[in-house]
Structure 1
Amino acid sequence: MFKWFFNRKTNELIKLVLQNDIALSQIIDMQQLEGAKPLHKDFAKWVQNRFVINHAALLRFKKSGSIKDREIVKSLLDLNMDLRRWYDESMENLKFYNWPVKSFDDTYKPLIGWDRTYKDFFNE
């Protein structure tokens, strides 16, 4: 009976750490593009620091199969909210020009989809 709840909780944690990882990686990668507007120095440092922390949590999660520390989960959730806020603020100007803008969840998802990602997460 509780297996369904455990699986759902695990899938939500997988989504959280991977979504953070994808978003942070993309922010870092976009800075390598020719003509990219440089990030503010403090924000660039913040992104790099959060990427290292989130990626370490992702690797530990894959190895152990869970994240039991509530403080780590809270910090991952806070990071996700910060990234969502940054994304919304960044996309606001594009909406003004009627540029098609996807939601944060649609933008930062694995190419193979979440169901397959959940299934293969611990086997990679």
Structure 2
Amino acid sequence: MTSRFRLIALIGLALAVSGAAINPGEPIPGVDIYLGKNPGGSPIVVATSDREGRFSARARVERGEYAVSTACAPRQACPPNRQLTLTVDGRPVRPDARGVYLFPVGGSLGTVMLTGRVEIFDRWGRQNGTPR
């Protein structure tokens, strides 16, 4: 009887860790936000989402195109259907057809302000049950 209880408890824990208990619209804390020059620049972590899934960071950049991406820490339950809401210097940046967030920088050298939120979206592209 005890081993059956342990099996049920382990299955429940596995479902919770796999993200099955996460609902659309919920924030994802602890996600690293990477910024890298496109193409070929080495991405660096510029921020990590807080418990509300929000982040903000100033990054020093030079002229060119930049890509923003996300990654979760090892052994962290991070659902594949995460969505990034991103603004750069107050302007929204949407993903391209490949899901890559790109933005241009026209000046020779300066800083940009990245802000946003990482949250769960369901597989139909709805947040909190509302179609996007």
Bin the TM-score by the shorter chain: under 0.3
The normalised TM-score by structure 2 is 0.24
Larger Rg: 2
The normalised TM-score by structure 1 is 0.25
Higher RCO, 1 or 2 (CA under 8 Å, sep at least 6)?
1
The structure in which a higher percent of residues are helix is 1
The structure in which a higher percent of residues are strand is 2
